[in-house]
Each structure stands twice: as structure tokens, then as C-alpha cells.
Structure 1
């Protein structure tokens, strides 16, 4: 469902007196340590960690494919497929992404395709279904579900990035345990879990993981951690008995490697794109939220291509544009949001008729600032925090900070004839 939003004609006095400040590109420096030979590293790790290789001969092994954008996820998945084949196994891949991609089998298979996870490139079947099997339940009676293809397989390989979650904090957040608790549960299992509410996640995720591992003996995991430059800095094959322990350990590494703003005080944040491939809420609240930053207005200009028009998290945006709202598939977005039970994240924000108008409104709506000296930061998305653009007033605050480098000259933002930013 797409909505044709009309042109907005509301009046806000004072816009004509505001001068949008010049911007300059800067580089924020973070730890850049990463794994160069991903395939070689993973093959070596699989052969060192998995000791019962003969067991895999002629076994049908299910490999999970999630909805998050992960560096080299196609290479990682292909490497796991190839190594399993080397051991004589018959691997296949399933989407393991809860209710994402519209909550449909076709949509989830198409989501994997955006990461180049297709049968031709992987050399393995991709079996996508929303059908599930109840395999157990928690002590409080909550039923636990798993994708039917995973249930009927001989073994399961959990592949996922480990990172801080956007809506709760605990020993286990987004990672290997969550993939078992929610991703593999498809729409039905994900809905059952989310109905208990995010405040219960930190306690319930390890409970589900423990029950999962009791019921499914032939499991191992591949845990992935990215650095601030979206490069893989940690890649570990984890045997079944160590999954919970390693999931918690990798989360702490991920938190230390997260990108962030070196100076957390600004007036307006401009994000060029948001999407499910970036974060569950379109942009990572661990990087951009009022809990970690002191800012007044958030302006988001558009959606990523890989999000497939899903704007989950749009409700956290202060202002956007007519063009962006017209690009949103509200059925897909609200399916995801209703399943998460956080309905306000699907609210429609104020919108303007162009980028220029939206930026002026965002500046004008800030309290107690000099409108012509606004502290503005602009990023592509929260996966790209190394090179960002900042206004003169913001630069003056951070120019002497360690790990900050100016890499361009100040320039005026260029707009096209319709008032949209020229990239």
C-alpha cells in the first residue's frame, strides 16, 4: 500500500530569513582492525572448531539467512555452503528474519537476493516458507516455533551479526541467541515473542536459546562482529555448547567497536537514508537517539534500496519530505511494526515539499539557537559514520578533538530546481 501524499501548504513564519550554513566533510577515526581473508579465516575456523566432520556426510544442513545488512554476508554464507559440501553434507539456506520483508515467503527470499544470496551464487537451494512447527514451550506456556525446513533438517548453522539491539539492553541482544528465539520463528514465532514486550527480551532470549539447544543437538553458529567502518573484525565458528557464552562475549566486542559522533551536541541531524538493512528501526538508536545525543530535530531524506520500501522506525523521525513518504510501502512497514508491538514507530512524521524546505523547517523549529549558526551534521546512514558533513558551528566545536580530520572545503549545499539536495 503506497499513499500519494499531497503537497503541504502550511505556513511557518521566519523561514525566509534563515541562511542554511555551509558544510564541510570531516573524517572521524575509529579502530580499523579487520579480517582481510574472510574466506580463508572462516574455512580454517570451521575445520578447527567442528571435530565430527564425518557426521555431516549426506546430512541435510539448514543455514540461516537474516535481513540485516552484513559486510560480505554472501561470501560468508557461500563459504559455509562450500565447506559443508566438502564434508559431504547437503546444505540449503532459509530466510530467518521473523516478520521482515512483508512477512511473506516470497518477500523474504527477495530480501536475501538483495544480499546476493541466491541459488546460483550460493550453489545451494533456498527454501522459503512462513510455515512453522512448534517444537517446545517455555515454563510460562509460551509456545516456541521454528521454520518447518529447519525443523526437518539434520542440522542447523546459525549465521548472524552480533550487535547492540535498538529497543532493549541485556547480556544477549541482537545476535546468535536472538536468531534462534525470533528469526527462525518466522512471523508466527516472532509475533508470539514480541507480544510479551521488549522489557522481557533480555530475560527471555537466553531461555529460548537454552530450550532450542536442548531440542536441536546438531547446531553450530557463525558469529560476526563489524568495526566502525562496516568491516568484519571478529568472525568465529561457535560449537553448540558455547553459543550462549560466545554470544554475550561478542556483544561486548561489538559495543566497543561501534561508531559514534565524537561530539554529541548538535541542533539538526540529517540522514540521507534509513532502512531495515541498516537497523531494525531504520537507523541505529545506539548511535542516534536522545539517550546518547543532545539534538533537537531529526530530518531523514529517504529510504535505502535494500529496505524494499519498508520504513519501520519512521515514527522516530521529526521531519521528512513528500517524496520519501510517497516511497513507503505502508503494508510492509506496518506488518513489521505491528508484529514488534511498538506502534508509535510507524507514525507519519511532518513532511515538507523538498529537502531544502524540510531543512529550513528543522532549523526554524530549534529552540534557543542562532538560526544562521545552526550546528548541523549530515550522514548517509548509521552504517557510515567515518566520513560525515558538518556545519561551521559544529566544526568549531570539534576541530581540536583527537580522531577528527577535515577532508574538504566548506561549501554551500546544492539543491536542484525542485529543492532536493544534489548528491
Structure 2
């Protein structure tokens, strides 16, 4: 690495400025979360289906949701109030290294434990075939533990998907098709043409509703600050008719970088708790399948510095960057990362970018390899903590003129040098 270090040692790292991106902060207050969840479930068409003595499975997946444990416990307590017996099932495809233990750990990281929930938590990779998909007649699989219930309540956040567009993207329909399908079901969908994935999610989801005791679900939409914007209880019929409307609403509430393009985008951390692709391409602009999706910022080079603790070494998405650090590389666990790639077939997400020994060199390498930069003396660089948290970010001086023109950007500091420690890492 000494040769590369020598080649880039004189590349200047631009001064940065702290800014705040201002979005609509409409949200449900924390002290109203439990009440709202239970009110939604109390509708006769939804909660009225729950009878004393019934065993009710509640799905919990791998995506981070604000107040996740609080909402899950609210669903559990509602089920108990009806005289039924709730339990939580880990509803995620190949996450957690495609192991029951790994998926239990993911839920534990969110505070979803038997102690906190007051009910059993069941995690298994076993599935049962429940039928054939409506149009293509493909086998449809569902989590064995969920199928042992008298009723299933879905629980998931609705948001734009990272690799396809359609009437149903990330939400309750996908929770059924891929989450309840576990690794077996997720693989079945992903190993078909990505061009029809949006159709498959609906087709498999509808098949599951026809053959499984789905009672309905709780759908969550978050605002740009990851606060709870909306909580909506949906019956099975309403999942079909209303989820597409909620999907449209989620496009209006999600955060985005208030710049069209930059030379270098620096992402401090990626992880499966942040996005299925480690970093949300609706922010980063780096889509798994750009043929089918677009959006986000146009960055010539992307640098990823580290992994979240919650991802447990799963570095899926690292292949969407050009540069990373040895720190991240040393944390990457192939046994956690590769099963996801085998399941979703997006093997390029696991490719290793150029590895630099520290943060400073990673930034310098990216900066010196931007031939399309409009002004080499005023490089446009943006640094974000991760794609879930982009309210407070840093921009280089080269972006200040654009920032000053935008009424939704607050400039919080004078330009300053990034603080590197003796080892060349940011602190």
C-alpha cells in the first residue's frame, strides 16, 4: 500500500461545513404510539377476528423501525387483551446469516426479546409449502412457526424498495412474500427475473393470504427524521387496496439529500439494520438494479468507512462503493454476508472496493479519482452518518453556494478541517 499512499499523500481534503437539512417533521408523539397501535387494532374488521384461546403469530423483520419494540409490545398486549395467546416470529429472508440464531439476535438488537415482549419469540428457517402462486404456479413457502398459528398479524414499515418499483414495495405484501417465506421463499423470488420482482411480490403475497390465516397487519410510515409519521391497521382486503396508497405517501415523507450531485459521497456506516442494501439507494443513488430503479444523489465516487454493530459483520452493499477502509474489511464476516447474496443473486453487492488503511487515505483516493469534477480546486464532497440519518450532515466548501440558495438548508458552522487522529481516522 506504500505506493498508493505515496501517490495520494498530497491530495487535499476539502474543508467541511456542518449543515441541517430541514424536512416536514410531522409525527405521532412517542406517548401516543401505543394508544395509536391499539386503536388501529381495535377496529372490529381487524381485531374482532381474534377470539379467546387463539394462537396469534406476530411478524417482526430485520429493518430498523423507530419505537420498534414499543409497537411490537403494543400488538402483543392487544392480542392478550382479547384472551388470545401471542408469539412473535422472526420474519426475514436470509438475514442473520440465514440462521435461526442469527435472526433471533437481530430481533434482540431491537429490544425484541421474550422478556421485553412478554411472549415467546420463535425463530426457525423451516418452511412449509402453502400453495402455488396464482399466475406462474411457483411453490409458495411460509415460516413453519407462523403456519402453526390460528391467525397471523403482519407488522412492517412501508417505504420505497431498493431494487424494484411497483404497486407494493417494502411493506406488508413483501413481509408475506419474502419475510414469511424465509430463505427458501426469498430465494424462490429472487432467482426469477428481476424485471418481474414487483409482480412476484404481489403474486406470492396474495397466495399466502388465500392459504394462510392472515388477519391483517399494522403498517408504519416514517418521516424524514425516522419518526413515526403514520400507523395504520389494515385488513387483508385493505392490504390489497390501501398499501399502494401508503407506498405513494411514503415517497413524499422519506428524506433525501438536498443536492442533485457531488464528487464524493462519504458514508460513515452501512448495515442491514439501515437498509437491505446496507445503505438506502434512494439516498445514495447507488441502486442494485439501476435498470429498474432510479433516484438519490449522483455521486461520482462513494466511500464507505465502517459497519454498524447491529449488522453483525454483514457487509452487503459494500460493492456499491469504490473505496472502503481496512477497519470495515476486518469487520466483514463472509458467513454473514454471502448467504444474502446467494439468496438475492446480487453478487456484485459483496464485491470488495479498494481498501485503504485509514479514513484520510480513503477520502484522498476518492477525491483524486474524480476526473469529471467540475472544479478540481473546489471538490464537492458530502459526508453522512448513514442513510437513515441525514438531518445533520457535512458538506465541503464547494457546495456552500448551493446550500445558501436552498431555504431548506441551515448552515451551522464556518468551514473547518476534518479531525483526523494520529492513525488518520476520523473522530
| TM-score between both structures, scaled by the size of structure 2 | 0.94
Counterpart contact for 1:28–1:405, Cα < 8 Å:
yes
Counterpart contact for 2:24–2:223, Cα < 8 Å:
yes
Counterpart contact for 2:46–2:233, Cα < 8 Å:
no
Counterpart contact for 1:108–1:128, Cα < 8 Å:
yes
Describe the SS at the equivalent of 1:272.
strand
Aligned-partner Cα distance in 1 for 2:214–2:203: 19
For 1:373, the equivalent position in structure 2 comes to 378
Listed one character per residue, the Cα deviations across residues 200-237 of structure 1 (whole Å, up to 9, x for unaligned) are: 11111111122111112441100001110000101101
**Residue in structure 1 matching 2:335, options 331, 334, 339:** 331
Counterpart contact for 1:131–1:147, Cα < 8 Å:
yes
For 1:294, the equivalent position in structure 2 comes to 298
Alignment partner of 1:112 is 2:107: yes
When the two chains are superposed, the root-mean-square deviation of aligned CA atoms in Å is 1.5
Change (3 A) 1:88 1:311: same
Listed one character per residue, the Cα deviations across residues 367-418 of structure 1 (whole Å, up to 9, x for unaligned) are: 1434442111000011011111011111122212121101223211111111
Counterpart contact for 2:34–2:71, Cα < 8 Å:
yes
Deviation at 1:175, TM superposition (A): 0.6
Counterpart contact for 2:152–2:213, Cα < 8 Å:
no
Q: How does 1:151-190 map to 2 (within 5 A)?
A: 151-190=147-186
**Tell me, which stretches of 5 or more residues in structure 1 are unaligned?**
1-7
For 1:98, the equivalent position in structure 2 comes to 93
Q: How does 1:132-211 map to 2 (within 5 A)?
A: 132-138=127-133, 139-211=135-207
Describe the SS at the equivalent of 2:261.
coil
Counterpart contact for 1:18–1:372, Cα < 8 Å:
no
**Tell me, which stretches of 5 or more residues in structure 2 are unaligned?**
287-293
Query: Which sits farther off after the overlay, 254-263 or 106-115?
Result: 254-263
Deviation at 1:11, TM superposition (A): 2.7
Listed one character per residue, the Cα deviations across residues 56-86 of structure 1 (whole Å, up to 9, x for unaligned) are: 2110000001000111110110000001100
Aligned-partner Cα distance in 1 for 2:403–2:130: 54
Deviation at 1:14, TM superposition (A): 5.2
**Residue in structure 2 matching 1:24, options 17, 28, 34:** 17
Deviation at 1:13, TM superposition (A): 6.4
Deviation at 1:266, TM superposition (A): 0.8
| TM-score between both structures, scaled by the size of structure 1 | 0.95
**Residue in structure 2 matching 1:246, options 242, 245, 254:** 242
Deviation at 1:122, TM superposition (A): 0.3
Describe the SS at the equivalent of 1:140.
coil
Q: Give the length in aligned residue pairs.
A: 415
**Residue in structure 2 matching 1:11, options 4, 8, 13:** 4
Aligned-partner Cα distance in 2 for 1:407–1:52: 48
For 1:363, the equivalent position in structure 2 comes to 367
For 2:395, the equivalent position in structure 1 comes to 390
Aligned-partner Cα distance in 2 for 1:218–1:390: 47
